[in-house]
């Protein structure tokens, strides 16, 4: 935040009516930008994760995620490009949403959905593979979460499934051992050959780094 300089003298206070008008216009100009800056995440009664740029149904408690950098209003000259008037004396109407901000919001929403998709696919494969005790309710919840958030495009869906496999590998006991070995090699006093350290680092980077956080 830039430092704010102090005025030399006491400024004249504008009339209250002027302040109210300025505040009303500012709020109206901020409405379309703020609407674009929000993504909503909630879990329904069955445990299925939902992500949307639209507010959830009434009564549903949701987490609001702000799109980084989208809460700032775009610059304009004297506000001439921010509002339009239908007739004299009518209140200003917000103009169409900025396409760049819409695209930014959709990009963030897509990445969040991919994250939920990858986690659901990985958990589903793990639970249906018999490596964990599970229940029919868990399987149903994970399938619904995957169906809701994963891409319907076959090519993109294969990419998400590959990401789920990498995510599972990164969380496997084999990668726990690989990371422990790397840390031991990097400790002060370790006599591990440099090439061995590089090879271990490359293995961890390739196989033990999850594609989602």
**pLDDT tens sequence for the chain (213 residues):** 444 444 444 444 444 444 334 433 343 333 344 444 578 888 888 888 898 888 888 888 888 877 655 444 444 444 444 444 444 555 555 555 678 877 888 888 899 999 999 999 999 998 888 777 888 999 999 999 999 999 999 999 999 999 999 999 999 999 999 999 999 999 998 999 999 999 999 999 999 999 987
Sign of the dihedral defined by the CA atoms of residues 129, 134, 136, 138, in that order: negative
Identify the residue whose tokens are 């061995």.
196
The enclosing H or E element of 51 equals: strand 49-52
User: What one-character DSSP code corresponds to residue 14?
Assistant: P
Neighbours of 85 (CB within 10 A): 10
pTM: 0.61
Token couple for 87: 């007739």
Paired with 65 in beta bridges are 39
Neighbours of 167 (CB within 10 A): 20
State how far the Cα of 88 lies from the Cα of 205, in Å rounded to an integer.
Answer: 63
Token couple for 117: 């998709």
């Amino acid at each position: 935040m830039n430092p704010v300089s102090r005025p030399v003298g006491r400024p004249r206070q504008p009339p209250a009516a002027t302040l109210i008008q300025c505040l009303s216009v500012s709020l109206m100009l901020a409405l379309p930008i703020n609407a674009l800056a929000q993504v909503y995440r909630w879990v329904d009664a069955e445990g299925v994760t939902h992500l949307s740029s639209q507010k959830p149904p009434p009564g549903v408690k949701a987490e609001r995620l702000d799109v980084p950098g989208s809460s700032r209003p775009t610059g304009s000259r004297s506000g001439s490009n921010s509002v339009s008037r239908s007739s004299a004396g009518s209140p200003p109407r917000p103009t169409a949403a900025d396409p760049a901000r819409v695209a930014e919001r959709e990009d963030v929403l897509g990445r969040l959905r991919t994250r939920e998709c990858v986690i659901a696919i990985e958990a589903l494969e793990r639970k249906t593979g018999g490596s964990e005790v599970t229940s029919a309710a868990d399987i149903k919840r994970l399938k619904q979460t995957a169906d809701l958030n994963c891409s319907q495009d076959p090519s993109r869906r294969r990419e998400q499934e590959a990401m789920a496999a990498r995510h599972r590998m990164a969380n496997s006991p084999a990668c726990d051992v690989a990371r422990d070995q790397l840390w031991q090699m990097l400790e002060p006093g370790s006599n591990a050959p440099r090439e061995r350290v590089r090879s271990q680092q490359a293995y961890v980077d390739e196989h033990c780094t999850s594609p989602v956080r």
